[in-house]
Amino acid sequence: MQVEHTVSDYDEDLRFLTQKISAMGGQAERMVERAIDALIRSDHKLAETVVADDIVLDNGQRDIDEKAVLVIVKRQPMAQDLREIIGAIRISADLERIGDLGKNIAKRVSVVTEYRQPVSFYRGLQALTDLALTQLKFVLDAYSTRSISQIEVVRDRDDQTDAKYTSLFRELLTYMMEDPRNITPCTHLLFCAKNLERIGDHATNIAETVYYISTGEQMPIERPKDDTSHEVTITKG
Amino acid sequence: MQVEHTVSDYDEDLRFLTQKISAMGGQAERMVERAIDALIRSDHKLAETVVADDIVLDNGQRDIDEKAVLVIVKRQPMAQDLREIIGAIRISADLERIGDLGKNIAKRVSVVTEYRQPVSFYRGLQALTDLALTQLKFVLDAYSTRSISQIEVVRDRDDQTDAKYTSLFRELLTYMMEDPRNITPCTHLLFCAKNLERIGDHATNIAETVYYISTGEQMPIERPKDDTSHEVTITKG
C-alpha cells in the first residue's frame, strides 16, 4: 500500500505540472489573440485586460519552477520523468515570455490608435498573428498528447511565419516612406510584428522540448531560427 | 575512499557547469561588444565573425542541459546543489539568447552601413551598449563569486538601461521624421537598440538566478521589467 500511495502522489505531482502548463498555454494564446484584437479594433479596455492578465503567467512559471524543484528533491526521478519535469520548466519559460510579448503589443494600442487606420491596414498583421497562433495551438496539442509524429512540421511553418514577418517589415517600411505621419504608428507596428515572429520562435522551442520529453534526444538538424528582415532596405522610388 | 572519490567526481561535475557558464558569459560579452563595434565602424568582416561565433553558445547551452540532467540522475542532489544545477540551466539559456541578440545586431551591419553615418550618430547606441555590458559583467562576477550583496543594484541599473533605450527610441524616430532616407537605417538601429535593452533584461534574469542559487528564495519585490518606449510618439514639428 505504501508504495502505491507514493506512486499515486508522484503521478499527481507530474499531473500538476502538465495541467499547469496547459492552463498557461491557454492563457498565453488568449493574451496574444486579445492584444491583436485590441490593436485592430482600438479597444483600450481590452488592451488593459491583457496587460493586467500577464501576472497570471508570471505566477504560473514561478509555481512550476518551485514544484519542479520540490518534485526532483522528493522523488529523485529517473529518465522520462525527469525529462517531463525539466521540460515543464522550459515550456513554462517560453509561455511566460509569450505572455510578455502579448502584453507588449497591448501596451502599444493607445499610441497606435492615435493614428487610426482602416482595418485593411492591419491585414498583414492579422495574417502573421494567425500563423503564430496556429503554431502555438499545434505545439500545445502536441504537448498534451505527447505526440511527436507531426512535430517536424512546426519548423516548416516557422519558416512561413518568418517569411510573412519579413514581407510585413517591408510593407510597413514602405508606408513610412510614403508619409512621415506613418512613422510613429508603423514603428510600433514593426515591434508588434517582431513580437509575433518571436512568438512563433517560442512555439518552435516548445516543439523541440516536446520532442526531447518524448525521445530523450535533441531534435535533429539545426533550424536556421531567423528571419531575413535584417536584409530589408527600402529606398524612395 | 569510495565516498571521497564520489564526492570529488561530484564536485567536478558541478565545476564543469560553473566553468562552462563562465566561458559562455565571456563569449556572450565578446559577441555583443564586437557586434556594436562592427556596426559603428562598418566592419563587415568582424560582423561575420560574430555571426559565425553564435554556434559556440548554442553548443554551450546544449552541453550544460545534457550535463545537468545527467548529474541530477546520477547524484540525486539536494537543496543547494540542485539549485546550482537548475541555475546553470537557466543562466545558460539567458546567455544563449544574449548571443542570438548579438548575432542579430551583427546581421544588420551590412544594411546599416549602406547608409553610413558619422560616428557621433551612434553615440546613444554606444552608451546603451556600455550600460548593458556593464550589467552583464556585473552579474557574471556575482555568479562566479556567488555574492549577492550588491545584487539589488542590478535592478536599479536596469531602469537606467530602459530609460536610455526609450530616449534612443525617441531620437531615432526624430531622425526618421527629419529625413526619409534615415527610415531604413534607423529602423534597423531601433531593433539593435531593442536588442541591447533585452540584453539588460537577461542580465537582470541572471541576477535573479544568482540570488535564487545562493538563498533558495525568489528575489523579493517584482521589478516592472519594462521600458516605456511603447508610449513614444513623435509628431512632425
- B160 touches B91 (CB < 8 A): no
DSSP A209-234: HHHHHHHSSPPSS------SGGG---
Chain B residue with minimum CA distance to A177: B180
**Shortest distance, CA B180 to any CA of chain A (angstroms):** 6
- Compare CB distances from A187 to B76, B82, B190 and report the shortest one's residue: B190
Instruction: Specify the pLDDT at position A225.
Output: 59
Taking 70 as the threshold, does the pLDDT of residue B222 lie above it?
no
- A62 touches A92 (CB < 8 A): no
- Compare CB distances from B183 to A83, A110, A176 and report the shortest one's residue: A176
Sequence-ordered list of residues with C-beta below 8 angstroms from that of A229, at least 6 positions apart, any chain: A165, A166, A169, A170
> Helices B44-75 and B79-107, interaxial angle, to 10°?
160
User: Grid coordinates representing A171?
Assistant: 510593407
> B173, A191: Cβ pair inside 8 Å?
no
> B184, A191: Cβ pair inside 8 Å?
no
Query: What DSSP character marks residue B220?
Result: S
Report residue B228's pLDDT band, with 50, 70 and 90 as the boundaries.
Answer: confident
Cα separation, B82 vs B72, in Å, equals 8
Taking 60 as the threshold, does the pLDDT of residue B216 lie above it?
yes
Instruction: Specify the pLDDT at position B116.
Output: 75
Residues in chain B: 237
User: Grid coordinates representing B211?
Assistant: 540570488
Cα separation, A16 vs B81, in Å, equals 24
Instruction: Specify the pLDDT at position A15.
Output: 92
- Work out the widest C-alpha separation in chain A, in whole angstroms: 79
**Shortest distance, CA A26 to any CA of chain B (angstroms):** 23
Residues on chain B touching A217 (C-beta within 8 angstroms): none
Report residue B224's pLDDT band, with 50, 70 and 90 as the boundaries.
Answer: low
User: Grid coordinates representing B119?
Assistant: 560616428
Report residue A221's pLDDT band, with 50, 70 and 90 as the boundaries.
Answer: low
> B234, A58: Cβ pair inside 8 Å?
no
User: Grid coordinates representing B73?
Assistant: 540522475
Residues on chain A touching B73 (C-beta within 8 angstroms): 78-79, 82
User: Which candidate, A123, A224, A206, A100, places its Cα nearest to that of A172?
Assistant: A123
User: Grid coordinates representing B13?
Assistant: 561535475
- A61 touches A93 (CB < 8 A): yes
> A184, B69: Cβ pair inside 8 Å?
no
More confident residue, A115 or B166: B166
Instruction: Specify the pLDDT at position A1.
Output: 41
Domain ranges across chain B? 2-231
How many whole angstroms from its chain centre is CA B196? 8
Cα separation, B220 vs B237, in Å, equals 44
3-state helix, strand, coil in chain B (%, to 5): 85, 0, 15
> A183, B173: Cβ pair inside 8 Å?
yes
pLDDT digits (tens, 9 = 90+) for B97-133: 999 999 999 999 999 988 877 777 899 999 999 999 9
Sequence-ordered list of residues with C-beta below 8 angstroms from that of B145, at least 6 positions apart, any chain: none
> A108, B230: Cβ pair inside 8 Å?
yes
Cα separation, A109 vs A192, in Å, equals 10
Residues on chain B touching A110 (C-beta within 8 angstroms): 231
> A230, B86: Cβ pair inside 8 Å?
no
User: Which candidate, A95, A98, A110, places its Cα nearest to that of A48?
Assistant: A110
Taking 50 as the threshold, does the pLDDT of residue A2 lie above it?
no
Residues of B with CB under 8 A from a CB of A: 58, 62, 65, 68-69, 72-73, 76, 78-79, 82-83, 86, 89, 93, 100, 104, 107-108, 110-111, 114, 173, 176-177, 180-181, 183-184, 187-188, 190-191, 194, 218, 222, 225-226, 230-236
Report residue A136's pLDDT band, with 50, 70 and 90 as the boundaries.
Answer: very high
Report residue A224's pLDDT band, with 50, 70 and 90 as the boundaries.
Answer: low
Cα separation, A60 vs A67, in Å, equals 11
Cα separation, B47 vs B32, in Å, equals 10
> B230, A181: Cβ pair inside 8 Å?
no
Half-sphere exposure of A224 (CA within 13 A, CB side): 11
Instruction: Specify the pLDDT at position A223.
Output: 57
CA-atom Rg of chain A in angstroms: 20
User: Grid coordinates representing A198?
Assistant: 518571436
Cα separation, A27 vs B235, in Å, equals 36
Instruction: Specify the pLDDT at position B223.
Output: 57
- Compare CB distances from B187 to A65, A93, A173 and report the shortest one's residue: A173
Taking 80 as the threshold, does the pLDDT of residue A196 lie above it?
yes
- Compare CB distances from B234 to A184, A232, A234 and report the shortest one's residue: A184
Instruction: Specify the pLDDT at position A3.
Output: 46
**Shortest distance, CA A104 to any CA of chain B (angstroms):** 8
Instruction: Specify the pLDDT at position A207.
Output: 95
- Compare CB distances from A230 to B82, B107, B231 and report the shortest one's residue: B107
To the nearest whole number, what is the mean pLDDT of chain B? Answer: 90
**Shortest distance, CA A144 to any CA of chain B (angstroms):** 22
Instruction: Specify the pLDDT at position A236.
Output: 61
Instruction: Specify the pLDDT at position B218.
Output: 81
Residue contacts between A and B (CB atoms, under 8 Å): 99
More confident residue, A21 or A117: A21
Q: For residue B79, is it left (φ>0), alpha (ψ between -120 and 50) or beta?
A: left
Query: What DSSP character marks residue B228?
Result: S
> B111, A233: Cβ pair inside 8 Å?
yes
**Dihedral sign computed on CA atoms, order B174, B176, B179, B182:** positive
Segment A46-52 shows an average pLDDT of: 97
Taking 80 as the threshold, does the pLDDT of residue A5 lie above it?
no
ipTM of the complex model? 0.89
> B188, A230: Cβ pair inside 8 Å?
yes
Instruction: Specify the pLDDT at position A114.
Output: 85
Instruction: Specify the pLDDT at position B1.
Output: 41
Place of cell 513554462: A92
Give the pTM: 0.92
More confident residue, A3 or B218: B218
Please identify, in words, the CATH class of the domain defined by A2-231: mainly alpha
Chain A residue with minimum CA distance to B65: A86
Instruction: Specify the pLDDT at position A75.
Output: 83
- Compare CB distances from A230 to B111, B173, B180 and report the shortest one's residue: B111
Using alpha carbons, list the distances in angstroms from residue B119 to A164, A216, A221, B48.
34, 50, 41, 21
To the nearest whole number, what is the mean pLDDT of chain A? Answer: 90
Report residue A94's pLDDT band, with 50, 70 and 90 as the boundaries.
Answer: very high
Instruction: Specify the pLDDT at position B199.
Output: 97
Query: What DSSP character marks residue B219?
Result: P
Share of chain A above pLDDT 90, in %: 70
Instruction: Specify the pLDDT at position A201.
Output: 95
pLDDT digits (tens, 9 = 90+) for A138-179: 999 999 998 888 888 888 889 999 999 999 999 999 999 999
Looking at A73-77, A94-98, A220-224, which range is the least confident one?
A220-224
User: Which candidate, A71, A130, A64, places its Cα nearest to that of A95?
Assistant: A64
User: Grid coordinates representing B34?
Assistant: 564586437
Share of chain B above pLDDT 90, in %: 70
Taking 60 as the threshold, does the pLDDT of residue B85 lie above it?
yes
User: Grid coordinates representing A89?
Assistant: 520548466
- Compare CB distances from A236 to B108, B180, B236 and report the shortest one's residue: B180
Residues on chain A touching B204 (C-beta within 8 angstroms): none
Instruction: Specify the pLDDT at position B236.
Output: 61
pLDDT digits (tens, 9 = 90+) for A54-81: 999 999 999 999 999 999 988 888 888 8
Taking 90 as the threshold, does the pLDDT of residue B192 lie above it?
yes
Instruction: Specify the pLDDT at position A76.
Output: 83
Cα separation, A171 vs A59, in Å, equals 38
